[in-house]
Amino acid sequence: MVQLSPVRRFLSFAAIFFEQLVTVIGLTGGIASGKSTISAYAKQHGAHVIDADVLGHQAYEPGTDCFDAVVAEFGEDVLAADGAIDRRALGAKVFAEGSSLERLTDIVWPAIKRMAQDEIDRIKRANTRQIVVLEAAVLLEAGWQDFVDEVWVVTVDPEVAIARTMARDGLDREAVQSRIDAQITNTERITKADVVIDNSSTEQALNDTVAEAFDQLSARSAA
């Protein structure tokens, strides 16, 4: 494992992609794999982080095209008393019907992509060097790898993921396993990855691995 000082880590971020002002990394991985930890580390060292889950919440807000389309498709019974979309009610309805999930993602995923692309375009118009990390659990399923420069996949042993999620979310093993089974596998993710980061150890080990990954990115850009 490469050990890098905090100063060295910061400089590696600043030096990335001399030729290209904005570099977009698509960060993805399964449940409890450590995506948010990597994003937080990147943000601390100067990267701009776009969280697709946050954009997803914004897409559901009343008055948006996405909100109108979801209500039109799934009915007003997915609305809460305040008129907002009740994501639990929507989720229950979607997973109770075989074809509903695809119908929902056909509405929501393009909206999230447009919002992410708008933010990336805004950063590019600033004409400054910037690393952008797009954190998205569904990056590959949604086909969003077509507008990032590199795909970074963070993996974790399934048993570690189960233990972390049970402790974090208070779920039983069966519930966690069903979530994992609903996602694509690490093997499928790795086949589409430019960089693979293993997070089956400690947070410090993960930080060291991420620092090394950014150093290698810097070296590739200079080659």
What CATH number is given to the structural domain containing 150? 3.40.50.300
Does residue 1 form part of some domain?
A: no
Select from 10, 3, 40, 12 the least CA-distant residue to 217: 12
Q: Residues 111-139: what's their mean pLDDT?
A: 93
Stated as kind and residue range, the H or E segment containing 204 is helix 203-222
pLDDT of residue 93: 84
Element (H, E) at 49: strand 48-51
> Does 177 map to a domain?
yes
Overall number of domains in the chain:
1
Residue 207 sits at the vertex; the CA angle it makes with 211 and 45, to the nearest 5 degrees, is 60
pTM of the model: 0.84
pLDDT at site 11:
45
Residue-averaged pLDDT of the chain: 86
Residue 201, domain extent: 6-222
Contact by Cβ (8 Å): 49, 43: yes
Measure Cα distances from 19 to 15, 132, 203 in Å. 10, 15, 32
- Segment (H or E) for 25: strand 22-29
Q: What is the pLDDT of residues 47-62, one digit of tens each?
A: 999 999 999 999 999 9
Predicted confidence at residue 13, as pLDDT, reads 54
For residue range 64-87, list pLDDT tens digits in order: 999 999 999 999 999 999 999 998
